[in-house]
Structure 1
Amino acid sequence: MTVLPVLDPVADTACCPPAGGPALDAGEAKQQALVFKALADPNRLRLLSIIKASSSGSTCVCDLTEPLDLSQPTVSHHLKILVEAGLLLREKRGTWAYFSLAPGALEDVANLLANL
C-alpha cells in the first residue's frame, strides 16, 4: 500500500500574481477597436491598398468604384469609416473628394498590435 504525503493548506488562495504592465483604459480600447473594426472589412482593406499604391499619394473617389465593383455610395461609406478611424485623410478638390493615407497610420496600427 502506497502512502501519500499530507499536504499543508496554502495560506494564500490567489491563483497567481496579477499580470504586470499597464492595461488599456476604456478610451484607448474604444479608439483601438474603432481602428480594428475599420480594418476588419475586405473592401476597406482593398481601398487602403489601392490608395497606398497610388503614385500621386492620393486617389479620387471616382477612381475607387470600378476596382471594387461597388456603387459610389457604398465606396463613400467605407471611406468615411476609414477616415473616422484615422487611417485616411479626405481632401475636397472642386466637386471631388481625394483620399490619402494619414501620415503614420499604418505604422500606428502595427504598434497597436505590437504593444497589446
Structure 2
Amino acid sequence: MREPLAADQAERLAPLLKALADPVRLRLVSIVAASEGGEACVCDLNDAFDLSQPTISHHLKVLHDAGLLDRSKRGVWVYYAVRREVLADLAALIGGNA
C-alpha cells in the first residue's frame, strides 16, 4: 500500500475480513477457489468438513452475504463460486499484486 485506506474503503473491506476471520469460512473460500472452474457444489463442500450440513450452509451464507461468494442453483444442488474481483481487492490490501 502506498497510502492509508480511505474511510469508504475501510467500510467496504471490513465486512469481508470479518467474514473470513473464521477458520471454516477461510477454508471454504480456499476450497471453492481451488476447485475446477473456480466453483464447487455444496454437496462436495459438506464432505470436506466434519460438520453438519446446516453449519456448512450457515458459513456459506455468511460468505455469500459478505460478497465473497456467488451462488447458483442447479436442480437440487447449489454451486458456489468465488468473486475474483473481491479477492483481488483483499489481496491488494494485504500487499498482493492484484
Common fold, TM-score beyond 0.5?
A: yes
Structure 1: gaps spanning 5 or more residues: 1-20
Q: 1:91 aligns with which of 72, 79, 84?
A: 72
- Higher relative contact order structure (alpha carbons within 8 Å, sequence separation ≥ 6): 2
Q: CA deviation at 1:58?
A: 1.3
Q: CA deviation at 1:23?
A: 5.4
Q: Does 1:63 align with 2:44?
A: yes
Report the TM-score, using the length of structure 1 for normalisation: 0.70
Equivalent AA in structure 2 for residue 68 of structure 1: F
The Cα offsets for residues 41-66 of structure 1, whole Å up to 9 and x where unpaired, read as: 00011101111111132111111112
Structure 2 partner of 1:24: 6
Aligned residues: 93
Aligned pairs for 1:31-70 within 5 A: 31-70=12-51
Structure 2: gaps spanning 5 or more residues: none
Query: 2 CA distance for matches of 1:22 and 1:59?
Result: 35
Equivalent AA in structure 2 for residue 73 of structure 1: P
RMSD, matched Cα: 1.8
The Cα offsets for residues 25-81 of structure 1, whole Å up to 9 and x where unpaired, read as: 2x5433311011111100011101111111132111111112111111111111111
Q: Where is the helix percentage greater, Structure 1 or Structure 2?
A: 2
**Structure possessing the higher radius of gyration over alpha carbons:** 1
Query: 1 CA distance for matches of 2:37 and 2:91?
Result: 24
**After alignment, is 27-36 or 40-49 more displaced?**
27-36
Equivalent AA in structure 2 for residue 50 of structure 1: I
Q: CA deviation at 1:112?
A: 2.7
Q: Percent identity?
A: 53
Structure 1 partner of 2:89: 108
